[in-house]
Homo-oligomer: A and B are copies of this chain.
Amino acid sequence: MRAVAVVGLGKTPFGAFPDRDLRSLAVEAGRKCLSNAQAAPEAIESFYLGNFAGPSFVGQNHLAPYVSTALGIRGVPATRIEAACASSGSAFYHAWTEVAAGIHDLVMVVGVEKMTSQTTARVSEILAAAGDCSGEMKAGNTFASLFAMIARRHMHDFGTRKEHLAAVAVKNHANGALNPDAHMRKPITMEQALAGKPIADPLNLYDCSLISDGAAAVILAPLERAAEFTAKPVRILSVAQASDYVALDQKDDITTFPAVRKAAEAAYRMAGVTAGDIQFAELHDCFTIAEIIASEDLGFVPRGQGGPYALEGCSARDGQRPINTSGGLKAKGHPVGATGVAQICDVALQIRCEAGARQIPRHSLGLAQNLGGSGATCVVTILAEP
Judge whether A65 and B98 touch: CB under 8 Å. Answer: no
* Identical copies of this chain, number: 2
Judge whether B79 and A47 touch: CB under 8 Å. Answer: no
Q: Which residues of B contact A62 (CB under 8 A)?
A: 82-84, 129-131, 246, 372-373, 376-377
- Complex formed: what's the CA distance from A134 to B131 in Å? 29
CB distance from A125 to the nearest CB of B (A): 9
Contact with B along A59-100 (1 / 0, CB 8 A): 111111110110001111111111110000010011001101
Decide if A330 is an interface residue (CB 8 Å cutoff).
Answer: no
Judge whether B134 and A77 touch: CB under 8 Å. Answer: no
Decide if A241 is an interface residue (CB 8 Å cutoff).
Answer: yes
The answer to whether A245 and B102 touch (CB under 8 A), given A61-B130, A97-B97, is: no
Contacts A62-B84, A100-B103 supplied; 15 other A-B pairs, CB < 8 Å:
A60-B129, A61-B82, A61-B84, A62-B131, A74-B243, A74-B244, A74-B245, A75-B258, A76-B242, A77-B241, A77-B242, A79-B81, A79-B241, A80-B82, A82-B82
Query: 30 A-B contacts, Cβ less than 8 Å apart?
Result: A55-B56, A59-B129, A60-B129, A61-B130, A62-B84, A62-B129, A64-B83, A65-B246, A65-B372, A65-B373, A66-B376, A68-B243, A73-B243, A74-B243, A74-B244, A75-B244, A75-B259, A76-B242, A76-B243, A77-B243, A78-B83, A78-B377, A79-B83, A79-B90, A81-B81, A82-B82, A94-B94, A97-B101, A97-B103, A98-B101
Binding site for B on A (CB under 8 A): 1, 21, 23, 47, 52-53, 55-56, 58-66, 68-69, 73-84, 90, 93-94, 97-98, 100-103, 126, 129-134, 241-246, 250, 258-259, 262, 372-373, 376-377
Query: Can you list the 10 inter-chain pairs with the closest CB atoms, starting with the nearest?
Result: A101-B101, A78-B243, A61-B129, A77-B241, A65-B376, A62-B84, A62-B130, A65-B243, A80-B82, A60-B133
